[in-house]
Amino acid sequence: MDVIIKFRWYKMILLAMKTEILVTIIAVLIIQWLLAILALYLLFKDNGIKKNILPWNIFIMFGFIIGPITYFVYRKIKKNKA
């Protein structure tokens, strides 16, 4: 009985949300995931595995979309100075 109630609760939420909103949320999450994976790949490629990349790693993962973009800008500025 508890499973049926939980299923109905989720079903009501999904039906209440418009399809466009769900598609937008899914698209934003996919973009965030791809940006984070690319930023982390470049971070580890540039620096290897070191303790000093931990703040960048945390910021990329939890700074929703802004984190990866900030790392891309930082990386570009860093390469232009070198």
Three-state SS at 49: coil
> Do the Cβ atoms of 69 and 52 come closer than 8 Å?
no
Structural domain for 67, as ranges: 2-81
% of the chain exceeding 70 in pLDDT: 80
Range with the lowest mean pLDDT among 2-11, 15-24, 25-34? 2-11
Q: Where are the alpha helices (DSSP H) in the chain?
A: 2-16, 19-47, 54-62, 66-81
Rounded (10°) angle between helices 54-62 and 66-81? 140
Token output for 14: 């999904």
Confidence at residue 4, expressed as pLDDT on a 0 to 100 scale: 53
Residue that the structure tokens 């466009």 belong to: 20
Give the pTM. Answer: 0.68
pLDDT, tens digit (0-9, with 9 covering 90-100), for 30-62 = 999 999 999 989 988 888 777 778 888 888 888
How many structural domains are present in the chain?
1
